[in-house]
Structure 1
Amino acid sequence: MFGLPAATVAIIFGIPAIWVIYTLVFVYLSRGWKAEDVAEGRARPTGGGDESGGTTASANGGTA
């Protein structure tokens, strides 16, 4: 194509094609992540600002 070697054409068109395919697969596989986050948020106990059970003030050194 355009007098370029086949390897150059493969690189110029192949890498973007692979990237587009990768992106489409990622979007397809991650389509349910928001629903998982919502379900996970409902399962967490209330109270406490972080996963260790402490509050935000204690997590940042006791400052408010």
Structure 2
Amino acid sequence: MSGKKNKPINLQELTDEEKVKYEIAEELGLLDKVMADGWRSLSSKETGRIGGLITKKKREKEKK
């Protein structure tokens, strides 16, 4: 495993970018899986979907 500790995630202490990532995971119904088993528990398809939606949101934000 990586050097990161399995510490509880405080959703109030996340950066804006991390918040978007968690919001998208929630929208896709993956947040419970992430909270229980971490980001590594997601399939490449699920991870790619989250990444694609993050990119889409960033582009929409830049247009404003």
Q: TM-score range by the shorter chain?
A: 0.3 to 0.5
Q: TM-score, normalised by structure 1?
A: 0.33
TM-score by length of 2: 0.33
Tell which has more relative contact order, 1 or 2 (C-alpha 8 A, sep 6+). 2
